[in-house]
Chain A
Amino acid sequence: MSVPRLDGIETCALCPRLCRHACPVAEGTRREAAVPALLAETLLAWRRGRVSDEVAREAATLCVDCGACQRACHLHRPLPGLLREARTALLPEPAVAPLGHVEGDGELVAVESDERRWAEALAARLGRPIARLRTDDFLGAALRGFPGWEARAARLRERFAGRVAVVADGASAGALAEAGVQVRWLDDLLPDLAGGRASCARGGEDCCGGAWPFSTHHPEDARRMAGRWAAAGTDASDARCAGWLAQHGLPARDPIHRLLEGP
């Protein structure tokens, strides 16, 4: 395996872990290994050939790519990008479903990422046509950073050309934003739907544990984080979190629930 350059990871590896309080995984799992600066130290050791690919993979996937460590860092070190770089080298490119087509008319496109269909309800609330795009894998967000991403990003731009995506989950939002598609969160569009704790994907420091690849590679930690989230309340502002909590028998409400239930 070719080890990436990971330029600048030394600074994070030597840092006295001042990002620990900001990281939702470190805080949520209470695992020292999840502290971003220590992930950097492990990856530095990997680059130097002192730990195996397996250990490096375990470290690089202890991250939900929320960017909190970079925001908290006084030096603004781009550690999230370096971890992404490492993941791209350490993980096989994930298989993603073909991208669906936008159905219906309207400048706004509801990105429906679970079984709930909410484009009509949104259209009724706004009094204007709303198109929809269904996805079972958050628009292939897991491809971000991998070679296949550029093609997926191009397709996303093509699908949403001239339109604005309306999202309710952080994974789709992240993919669209990175592809350069204009994005509005559902509860920004309709503030009365807002509520619940902000997820790791929305600039909050909470995390339900559902983000990929963390949830796949660290299922026990991810379950633990779901439990911690639910213990503090089951109201979420992100549909991915609500879905993840529901998978663990912790039913949560999100803006789509509120939209579909009506006033």
Chain B
Amino acid sequence: MAGLHDIPSSAGILDRRAVARDCWPGGTLDVWLGADPPMPERVFWPEDDAQIAEVLREATATGRAVVPYGAGSGVCGGARGRPGAWVLDLKRFDRIGPVDPETWTVEVEAGVNGQRLEDALAAAGWTLGHSPSSILCSTVGGWAAARSAGQLSSRYGVFEDMVLGLDAVAPGTGPFCVGLPGPRSPERRAPDDWLDLLLGAEGTLAIVTRVRVRVRPLPAARWLRGYRYADVPTALDAMRRLMQAELWPSAVRLYDPVDTFVGGRTKPKPEHASGSDGTEAWWRAWLRAVDALPEVRRRTLALPLALPRVVQRLAEGLAGGCLLVVGWEGEAATVEALSRHGHALLTEGGEDLGAGPGERWWASRHAVSYKLMPIFERGGFADTMEIAARWSVLPRTYEAVRRAVGETALVAAHMSHVYPEGGCIYFSFAGRGDRDTYDRTWRAALDAVLASGATVTHHHGVGELKAPWASREVGPAVAGWRALKAELDPAGVLVPGRLFVEVPFEPPPDVGPPAPRDGLLELAPGAPVPPEAAWPWESLPPARYARSPWQTGWIEVRGTVDGRPCALGRGPRSATGPDLRGWLAAHGRDVRVTVGVPPEGPRAMGRVRVPAPWAAARDLLRADLRPGAVGVEDGWLYVGFRGPAAEDLLRLATRVLPGLEPCPWRTFPLAAGPLEPCAPDDPRAVAATSEHVFRRSNR
């Protein structure tokens, strides 16, 4: 067994400084104002699971805190240094396995840089489809830790939708695997339901070392377009209808009037990144001019940022309408059909701006973070906050946060990562660059989010910044995390003081039952999922590896723990730390679950008799078609599509399933599990995803 001294490490100042700060703007502000970052004691670069286990064993024995580190791209302080701590820098976990062409999966180690992964996959004709704006500076392990979401999440899913299995090392158990195992997985296999608890745990439960993820062939076609709407509520409604029509765009991004105006986003794509082609925003040109005067430059923003309300009103007065960018990608025929129907829907209330705004966004989609530094340099701070809520709550949250933040900072917002049930609002704010203003702004913002009934994080994680608010939101359901923590990290050495902290109990806000436009159905305690649900599971939904990314299980789960009420899933994606909805459903009392329901509208179904129906269903999914209903009965495979494109999609399905004959619409209960992969032609098969065909399991 490796001893601690055999593990590459450094106690040098340079290496410790490098991992002392992640990309949390609060930490950046501190450094900019002259403070030293919180210095850990030593950095380890483990190269295998055994070395991680050894570091954790020694840390547990000596009571030393351990902070895992990938690329430090987190913006909530989750990976920042901690005085006296040991840092596990995982970048030597850098292997990218070959894509398995049989199962469309690949195993990737935690330290792999996102762009490097995407480049390697693209060279072989594949894509993960995970495209966060941080892709240049983040790692796969970080994506797992914070439950990252990419800009194409509407099509490919968020990161936990892509993970079929993972390996991890915990102080209490040593190495183990969960979900579908891989070729180098440890022997110890943990229960499937740990998968939802480890993803998003931000290293507080275990160190994730490798993941097995879904991949898809590179898209053959891409379609991008911009639309102008008069105001945010009108545009939000268009987004909602687009998603509930099951048109599955790859990207949906709404910029509010201030963001649209300040970003100059409706203009065509600039030919030069420098902006010297005449399309440069006036304010950027002005800032460029003062750059020549360093003393002036340091104070350029001091006055406007000291008067946020005045400047905000000015910007809102100058702004005119908001921009929605929508895109589709995938198989050419599918993209054509979906975008044609999507375009018709979006132009009902929006003005078509052509391809320019979409292409402009695509060209700069990974460059957003470059805009923050100049604000710090000019005497301000800039930060972002992503929250999520159901459709009926989103407008309320949008206004509440703008009102709260507007006291101390300028605020703009865009809405991306949308789902049939709701979406994410991504606020950007800038204020005067002092720590007090920064802290007051965040406190006001997060208090407003919680009070409005939204969730405090969507894809940035919790870290140190949001820990008190995340703990208030999760409430007594934190017991689910604590129970696993006691088993995996009994001494509490992993990332103490982040993610969840002790806070006084407060009941969840009463946001009332779902509105009709939310596309949600609240089930009575213990009631089965009804056939009219979007995904009528037989019982609790199966592990993520046994369902497709868009096949949601539950949206909200409410219940009581130790007599105290809690509500999880206040947004369409419960991303405040680990997904504890399953734990609450299993361990809470008076549990009420909401599930998605599709609106009334066109339906088209066909059936075909084939020798291995679930293998044929997998082929259909691989052909870039997403049936809203699928089932097998008496040797017939039934596939159905919902929404305005249903007839077109059924027609496309006949290319994959020759002989598909139209039949009346019906729904099928979806196998809930437990399930395990089986041979595609296994007669016991009961379900399929793009990767596997599944049969029931005794596990």
Q: What residues of chain A have their CB less than 8 Å away from a CB belonging to chain B?
A: 10-11, 13-21, 27, 30-33, 35, 38, 41-42, 45, 48, 50-52, 55, 58-59, 62, 72, 74-76
Contact = CB atoms under 8 A, between A and B. Distances in A.
Interface size class of B (residues with CB under 8 A): 35 or more
B116 interface: yes
Contact of B377 (A14, A21, A31, A76): A14
Given A17-B71, A35-B18, 13 more contacts: A13-B31, A14-B372, A16-B134, A17-B72, A17-B73, A30-B94, A32-B72, A41-B31, A42-B17, A51-B17, A55-B13, A58-B14, A76-B273
B391 to A, nearest CB: 32
B114 to A, nearest CB: 8
A11 B294 CA distance: 13
Contacts of A20: 71, 113, 136-137
A30 B91 contact: yes
B18 A14 contact: no
Contact of B15 (A14, A33, A50, A51): A33
B698 interface: no
A52 B31 CA distance: 17
Interface string B361-376: 0001011011011101
A31 B15 contact: yes
B137 A16 contact: yes
B12 interface: yes
B8 to A, nearest CB: 9
Interface of B: 12-15, 17-19, 21, 23, 28, 31-32, 34, 36, 43, 45, 69, 71-73, 75, 89, 91-92, 94, 111, 113, 115-116, 134, 136-137, 273-274, 364, 366-367, 369-370, 372-374, 376-377
Contacts of B69: 32
Contacts of A72: 136
16 contacts: A11-B373, A11-B374, A16-B23, A16-B372, A17-B72, A20-B137, A31-B18, A32-B15, A32-B43, A32-B69, A33-B15, A41-B21, A41-B31, A48-B34, A50-B36, A76-B273
Nearest to A33: B18
A45 B17 CA distance: 10
A32 B369 contact: no
Nearest to A224: B8
Given A11-B377, A51-B17, A58 B89 contact: no
B370 A14 contact: no
Nearest to B36: A50
A72 B366 CA distance: 12
B373 A18 contact: no
Contacts of A76: 273-274
Given A42-B14, A58-B12, A32 B19 contact: yes
Contacts of B364: 74
A236 B264 CA distance: 46
Contacts of B367: 18, 74
Contacts of A10: 32, 373, 376-377
Nearest to A30: B91
Contacts of A13: 31
Contacts of B17: 33, 38, 41-42, 45, 51, 55
B143 to A, nearest CB: 15
A210 to B, nearest CB: 21
Contacts of B72: 17, 32
B113 A59 contact: no
A86 B47 CA distance: 33
A75 B136 contact: no
A38 B373 CA distance: 14
Nearest to A50: B36
Contact of A14 (B28, B45, B273): B28
Contacts of A16: 23, 73, 75, 134, 137, 369, 372
Given A11-B374, A41-B31, A74-B273, A21 B137 contact: yes
Name the residue in A20, A35, A45, A72 with the highest tally of chain B Cβ atoms < 10 Å from its Cβ: A20
Given A14-B28, A55-B14, A58-B14, A21 B115 contact: yes
B137 A14 contact: no
Nearest to A57: B14
A255 B365 CA distance: 40
Name the residue in A18, A50, A58, A59 with the highest tally of chain B Cβ atoms < 10 Å from its Cβ: A18
Given A14-B376, A17-B72, A32-B18, A51 B370 contact: no
Contacts of A42: 14, 17
B115 A30 contact: no
A74 B113 contact: no
Contacts of B91: 30-32
Contact of A18 (B13, B14, B136): B136
A11 B69 CA distance: 23
B270 to A, nearest CB: 12
Contacts of B19: 32
Contacts of A38: 17-18
Contacts of A41: 17, 21, 31
Give the 3 A-B residue pairs with the shortest CB-CB distance, closest first. Answer: A33-B18, A30-B91, A32-B18
A42 B13 CA distance: 10
Given A32-B72, A33-B18, A18 B369 contact: yes
Given A21-B113, A51-B13, A15 B31 contact: no
A258 B124 CA distance: 30
A178 to B, nearest CB: 24
Contacts of B31: 13, 41
A10 B373 CA distance: 8
B142 to A, nearest CB: 12
Contacts of A33: 14-15, 17-18
Contacts of B113: 20-21, 27
A82 to B, nearest CB: 15
Nearest to A62: B14
Nearest to B111: A30
Contacts of B75: 16
Contacts of B376: 10, 14
A95 B31 CA distance: 38
Nearest to B291: A8
A59 B14 contact: yes
Contacts of B137: 16-18, 20-21
Contacts of A17: 23, 71-73, 137
Contacts of A32: 15, 18-19, 43, 69, 71-72, 89, 91
A62 B10 CA distance: 15
A11 B297 CA distance: 13
Contacts of A75: 370
